[in-house]
Amino acid sequence: MESSLETIFSNYEGKRENIIPILQKVQEEYTYLPDDMMAEIAKYTRVPASDIYGVATFYAQFRFTPTGKNIVSVCRGTACHVRGAPRIFEEVINQVGLEDEGTTEDMEYTVETVACVGCCALAPVMTINEEVHGDLTKQKVRKLIQAKGEENG
């Protein structure tokens, strides 16, 4: 664990302007930002940990809890909204057994909404592990989630 943090640090100078790129790299590696790493980043950049948390909590990209094996992001862009994104979101959380955005207890799925994937012509859209699925209906969502479930055994 320590060593990969050192590898990340070795690519950046310990300066304030590198906080966001470092946070992004850490999250890429661990899927979230663990508390102990935040303290290390604070030490390395010589910026107070409270300040690092301040930056990290400001941006939608950063998470503070581990994610499930599959990340389902439902687009809530305007084009998706008028073409039924709220209903798609409802179906996704129903299918994986969540009440709202979040991670399932078995750590299989993390469901989140994103501002816009930029595939508005295919609305409504969601991504499963960065793969884009468009022209969704409730039925299509059900099939996609069930297929993921089988794939994961």
Partner 1 sequence: MDKEKRQILICRGTGCESAKSPEIQKALEDQLEGTDVEVKFTGCHGMCQQGPIVIIEPEDVFYAKVKPRDVAKIVDQHIGEEKTVEKLVYQDPTTKKRISTYHDIPFYSRQKRLVLRNCGQINPEKIEDSLEAGVYQGLEKALGMSPVDIVSEVKESGLRGRGGGGFSTGMKWGFCQTAAGKPKYVLCNADEGDPGAFMDRSVLEGDPHSVLEGMIIAGFAIGAEQGYIYCRAEYPLAIKRLQIAIDQARENGFLGKKILGSKFSFDIEIFHGAGAFVCGEETALITSIEGNRGMPRSRPPYPANEGLYGKPTLLNNVKTYTNIPLIITNGSGWFSDIGTEKSKGTAVFALTGKIANSGLIEVPMGVTLREIIYDIGGGVLNGKKFKAVQTGGPSGGCLPESLLDIPVDYDSLIEAGSMMGSGGMVVMDEDTCMVDVARYFLDFTEKESCGKCVPCRVGTKQMLTILEDIVEGRGRPGDIERLEEIAWGVKLGSLCGLGQTAPNPVLTTIRYFRDEYEAHIYNHSCPAKQCKEFITFHILDSCVGCGLCRKNCPVEAISGEQKELHTLDQDICIQCGVCYEVCPPKVFSIEIRTGEERPVKEAA
Instruction: Compute the least distance from the CB of residue 116 to partner 1, in Å.
Output: 4
d(Cα 132, Cα 138) in Å, to the nearest integer?
Answer: 16
Q: Which of residues 91-130 bind partner 1 (CB under 8 A)?
A: 94, 114-123, 130
Instruction: Compute the least distance from the CB of residue 128 to partner 1, in Å.
Output: 11
> How remote is the C-alpha of 13 from its chain's centroid?
26
Instruction: Compute the least distance from the CB of residue 29 to partner 1, in Å.
Output: 15
Does residue 52 contact residue 92 with C-beta atoms inside 8 Å? no
Q: Which of residues 54-93 bind partner 1 (CB under 8 A)?
A: 54-55, 58-62, 76-83, 87, 90
Residue number, 57 or 107, with CB nearest to partner 1: 57
Please work out the total of residues on this chain that contact partner 1, with binding judged by CB under 8 A.
Answer: 46
Residue number, 69 or 114, with CB nearest to partner 1: 114
Question: Applying CB under 8 A, does 31 fall inside the site for partner 1?
Answer: no
Residue number, 47 or 92, with CB nearest to partner 1: 47
Environment class of 114 (CB within 10 Å of its CB; exposed 0-12, middle 13-18, buried 19+): middle
The residue ranges that bind partner 1 (CB under 8 A) are 15-21, 23-24, 47, 54-55, 58-62, 76-83, 87, 90, 94, 114-123, 130-134, 137-139
